[in-house]
Chain A
Amino acid sequence: MTNKMKLKELSDMLQDLNVESLEGVTIEGDIELNISGGGGLNPALAYALGNEISQISLHMANIGRMLGFPAEQLFASAFGMGEMPQPGTLPSQSPKIQELLASKFEVSKIDNWKNSIQEVTLGATSADGGSRKSTVTLGGENALPYYFDAPMPHRNYITMDVFDMPIGMAKAVKGNYEDVINDPAEWAKKVVRDFNADMVTIHLISTDPLINDTPAKEAAKVVEDVLQAVDVPIVIGGSGNPEKDPEVLEKAAEVSEGERVLLASASLNLDYERIAKAAIDHGHVVLSWTQLEINAQKELNRKLMKQCNVPRDSIIMDPTTAALGYGLDYAYTNMERIRLAGLMGDDELTFPMSSGTTNAWGAREAWMVSSPLKQDSDWGPREYRGPIWEIVTGLALSLAGNDMFMMMHPTSVQVLKEITQTLYGSIEAQEIDISNWIGAEV
């Protein structure tokens, strides 16, 4: 009984003491500690101390056994499966822990995302005065994309580019369109039928006075052809010429009356009022385009709403897409800030967003045969580099809150759809056991 008390004292003492400050320690057979002096506990001393203590515990265990207690079992379980620590192992100063400490993971939802993003529908079926077979609804989010804080009401959509005349394209892109390059209607059909485009964008670039100066009226015919050729919602783009675009988009809006197209685009450097009016008069949606500047985006949205009376459900924003490696950092953060501001209550920024992801093809990494720099490692085949450039550019922006993507390469479209819809939660796949991935044969 006396011995038992002293042992407990011993262990308490060892715990309380900072072992490093012990110097001379001797242990007598009757289990008494004599501690004196200051200084370090050297390994030899530690070993001797350990040895003494072990001897004592063996001695005590024997007593235990004599009293009929199954002491061996206690030892076995204490040291794990009956293995005694190997002699020579350095004594670890860290506490031995036999079971994982319990801890429950908890995280709170964001509490200042109080505002919903505006829902905007593109396309109109016969029930609503149009001739589209299906419509596309963007927006409605209450959280950053794919976050657990709130379900995302609509998936991302992809609209594929069609041009009203042959244009210069990266080789990897061009190969897909050579058969339809002179026929926008066939081109539109092809992207929907073969490449699974959700929508089609017809770019009326030949209207540019510096290109063909195609009259607005003629360009509108191409729009009619495309509307005939496909039954998905469409986007109508001008040439980017600020003098000519208002007229071109007015005519296009007129001939697509009731189809709820997206007019691309209104910007601060052209007569946005005319484009807004065309949208209101014919029941379309306006793309509000600014260049990587959140305050300019607010200003243009405000003008469209307050000055031009465009309804909230008829505005989509394009805050500009820069390619991976060519300013995507600005484009990403600009979109992320816009979306966060919208969620936190800035009513001038609560609109769905669209990205001209095709811009990724401007990066030389996407289209050049090889690096112009000798010091670079080999860039590998460009037919694989191009599509992934477009994918990663779009993917980054999808995570920043972008809803709709304007794209060009069929592989890019397919892969971006796969990843955005996976994160959205609509892709089923066979479950994969990764618990032993290290040994995987690849």
Chain B
Amino acid sequence: MKINSPLEAYKFLPATNCGECGEATCMAFAAHLIDRSKKLTDCTPILQDKFKKKFEELDQLLAPEIREVEIGVGEKISKIGGDDVLYRHKLTFFNQTKLAYDVWDTMDEKDLVERVTYIQDFRKFYVGNFLTVDMVAVRCTSNDPKRFAAAVKKVVQTTDLPIILCSFNPDVLKAGLEVAKDRNPLLYAANRDNWKEVAELALQYDVPVTLFAPDDLDLLKSMAKTFAEMGTEKLVLDPGTFPTGKQLKQTFSNFVKVRRAGIDGDREIAYPIMAVPFTAWMAHDDPVSASYWETVVASVFTIKYGDIMILHSTEPYAMLPQLHIRDTIYTDPRKPVMVDPGMYKVGEPTADSPVLVTTNFALTYYTVESDISSNKIDCFLWAIDTDGIGVEAAVAGGQLTAEKIRKGIEDAGFDLKKDTTHNTVVIPGLAARLQGDVEDATGANVMVGPADSGRIPGWMEKNWPPQNK
């Protein structure tokens, strides 16, 4: 983005404060443009013909430094790139690193379908959503266009996930494209030898293409410049992922250099970057070591600027940390993560079940929730609106008070006297000092739970049901 203050964006807006964008004023909207929480097209008036010039100019100024590239079609379309900063706290990183897992064309058909289905269905619940992986990379190991086309066809029939077609042989890529052309697949890859033919394919079929120049940033940039000149900026850069030793150190430098140059404004190299942790398998024979090393390399390049990567290990112990480190780096640091405040049923609570209070800080809420549910405890779990702040800080900062707890329970239409047999609330150990106040505010019995929700099961054994009513 070439501008960094709302004022600079404001100059281009219609200045009518009409409110169509959902903001009260053009200035407020301008601030959202700068922090990228709204799109310019949300201002419908500026789309009119008379503002055409201003729209185009502002659109240019707002474009992210790193180009955005789309892979796939429809609901599963994947965007990569689009970043404006080198450190997440400076804004946030956009378009999380896409994880592609490989299949290959010399695979048995049944195994291929099974693997693709597994990749497509893999999921892990986290903070209210499922973490999933993104793509299938089809490697040509046969060097036979027909065989490759057959494998791609099977993949296309099995999944809607976006596809990466992998071969250095243009005939093979063409055969794959013929089968998958409606799916906007990513071509992998053009290199020093085949770039002319691969460029032709990318242009002819109008698909994104990866440029592969292992440890040669001059070549990488030359190719990017040439492809842009020829008419496509749907490019992904692969500076080579060397899996070990000094070569890996060099790979790390290359990723940092390419991204820094792009963010600094060198348009010729400002494209998404691909990492191929798959190469870890070329350095390790034993599958556990290879999976571990692949995960390690993938983590490094999730943190340092990889926008898309091709992986091999589908072991849960490789996929789970990969999903989580990706989520870690791409979580928007500006937003406190919250759940909707309210009463949640965990398991199948009855009138005898306890009523537990926690905050609506998502990390706290889901930790408590899974601590309870994994121990098969039925209860009512109350997420009080603390603006997404954890228990200890919310008690100190006044976001968690007796009044808030009373109101939270009341707002949910829950009556402790009628809906429970015990008229009791359990507050978190870290909020112990609110006990008296909560008693006064709610007229209920208040018990103090453990400081760590991991100890709820033990606490329940000792303290539930309550002795004195």
Contact (Cβ within 8 A) A438 B226: no
Partner of A375, one of B123, B166, B188, B220: B123
Q: Which of B21-29, B33-41, B247-255 contacts A (4 or more CB under 8 A)?
A: B247-255
Report yes or no: B124 in contact with A377, Cβ–Cβ below 8 A: yes
Query: Known contacts A432-B283, A441-B141; is A146 also within 8 Å of B242 by CB?
Result: no
CB pair A439–B139 under 8 Å, yes or no, is yes
> With the chains together, A399 CA to B258 CA distance in Å?
17
Find chain B residues with CB under 8 A from A90 CB.
Answer: 204
Cβ-defined contact, A380 with B317, below 8 A: yes
Q: Is the beta-carbon distance between B204 and A104 smaller than 8 angstroms?
A: no
Q: Which of A301-342 contact B (CB under 8 A)?
A: 324-329, 332-333, 336-337, 340
Contact between chains at B244 and A432 (CB < 8 Å): yes
Q: Write out the residue numbers on chain B whose beta carbons fall within 8 Å of the beta carbon of A391.
A: 292, 295-296
Q: Closest residue of chain B to A325, judged by CB?
A: B324
Contact in complex: A100, B217 (CB < 8 Å):
no
B254-278: CB near A (< 8 Å → 1, else 0) gives 0011101100101011000000101
A47 within 8 A of B: no
Number of residues of chain B lying within 8 A (CB) of chain A: 96
Inter-chain contacts of B140 with A (CB < 8 A): 438-439
* Residues of B contacting A324 in the complex (Cβ-Cβ under 8 angstroms): 321, 324-325, 328
Whether A440 touches B328, Cβ cut-off 8 Å, given contacts A388-B295, A427-B244, is: no
- A388:B292 contact, CB within 8 angstroms: yes
Residue of B139, B143, B325 ringed by the most chain A CB atoms within 10 A: B325
**Contact check: which of A93, A327, A395, A422 meets B248 at CB < 8 Å?**
A422
Within 8 A of A (CB), among B191-219: 191, 195-196, 200, 203-204, 214, 217-219
- Also in contact, A428 and B245, with CB within 8 A (given A97-B226, A365-B320, A438-B188): yes
Asked if B312 is at the interface (CB within 8 A of a chain A CB), the reply is: yes
Contact A325 B230 (CB under 8 A): no
A423 at the interface (CB under 8 A from B): yes
Chain B residues lying within 8 Å of A371, measured Cβ to Cβ, are 124-125
Could you tell me the distance in whole angstroms from the C-beta of B255 to the nearest C-beta in chain A? Answer: 11
B147 neighbours in A (Cβ, 8 Å): none
Interface residue stretch chosen among B46-54, B298-306, B414-422, B459-467: B298-306
Query: B391 in the interface, Cβ–Cβ < 8 Å?
Result: no
CB under 8 Å from chain B, chain A span 32-50 = none
Quick one: which of B347-374 are within 8 Å of A by CB? 363, 367, 370, 373-374
Q: How far is the CB of A411 from chain B (nearest CB, A)?
A: 8
The CA-CA distance from A106 to B269 in the complex, in Å, is: 10
> Is A136 close to B, CB under 8 A?
no
Q: Is the CB of A396 within 8 A of B325?
A: yes
On chain A, the residues within 8 Å of B283 by CB distance are 429, 432
Q: Is B229 in contact with A147, judged by CB distance below 8 angstroms?
A: no
The answer to whether B257 and A148 touch across the interface, beta carbons within 8 angstroms, is yes
* Separation of A105 and B255 alpha carbons in the complex (Å): 13
Q: Is B445 an interface residue (CB 8 A)?
A: no
Total inter-chain residue pairs, C-beta < 8 Å: 235
Query: Judging by beta carbons under 8 Å apart, are A373 and B370 in contact?
Result: yes
Q: Chain A CB within 10 Å — which of B168, B258, B300 has the most?
A: B300
**Which range holds the interface residue count of chain A?**
35 or more
Q: Mark B316-334, 1 if CB is under 8 A from A, else 0.
A: 1110110011011101010
Q: A100-B195, A325-B328, A332-B328 are in contact. Are A380 and B242 (CB under 8 A)?
A: no
B281 within 8 A of A: yes
Chain B residues closer than 8 Å to A375, beta-carbon distance: 123, 125, 130
Check B124–A337 contact: CB distance below 8 A: no
Whether a CB of chain B sits under 8 angstroms from the CB of A56 is no
> 1/0 contact trace for B168-179 toward A, CB 8 Å?
100000000000
Q: Which residues of chain A are near B18, meaning CB under 8 Å?
A: none
| Chain B hits for A333, CB < 8 A | 87-89, 333
| A103–B333 CB distance below 8 A | no
Do A105 and B303 touch (CB < 8 A)?
no
Complex CA distance for A424 and B252, rounded to whole angstroms: 10
- Known A395-B296, A442-B281; contact A377-B121, beta-carbon cutoff 8 A: yes
Q: When chains A and B are docked, how far (Å) is the Cα of A364 from the Cα of B188?
A: 38
Q: Which of B369-400 contact A (CB under 8 A)?
A: 370, 373-374
Give Cα distance in the complex from A327 to B122, angstroms. Answer: 23
In the complex, the answer to whether A108 meets B249 with C-beta atoms within 8 Å is: no
Segment 87-138 of A: residues with Cβ below 8 Å from B: 90, 92-95, 97-98, 100-108
A229 at the interface (CB under 8 A from B): no
A148 touches B256 (CB 8 A): yes
> Which residues of chain A in 16-36 are interfacial with respect to chain B, using CB atoms and an 8 Å cutoff?
none
Known: A376-B125, A396-B299, A396-B328. Contact between A442 and B312, CB under 8 A?
yes
Q: Which residue of B is nearest A149, CB measured?
A: B256
Please state if B229 and A372 are interface contacts (CB–CB under 8 Å).
no
30 contacts between A and B (CB under 8 A): A97-B196, A97-B226, A100-B195, A101-B222, A104-B218, A104-B221, A106-B261, A108-B264, A325-B328, A329-B327, A333-B87, A333-B89, A365-B324, A371-B125, A373-B125, A376-B123, A376-B124, A377-B124, A377-B316, A378-B316, A384-B288, A388-B317, A389-B321, A392-B324, A423-B252, A429-B246, A432-B247, A437-B278, A438-B141, A439-B140
- Chain A residues at the B interface, C-beta cutoff of 8 Å: 80, 90, 92-95, 97-98, 100-108, 146-148, 324-329, 332-333, 336-337, 340, 364-365, 368, 371-373, 375-381, 384-385, 388-389, 391-392, 395-396, 399, 415, 419, 422-425, 427-432, 434-442
| Given contact pairs A328-B325, A428-B245, A438-B166, a sample of 8 additional A-B residue pairs in the complex whose CB atoms are under 8 Å apart | A105-B257, A148-B256, A373-B125, A384-B291, A396-B299, A431-B242, A434-B241, A439-B141
Closest 3 CB pairs of A and B: A429-B245, A372-B374, A380-B316
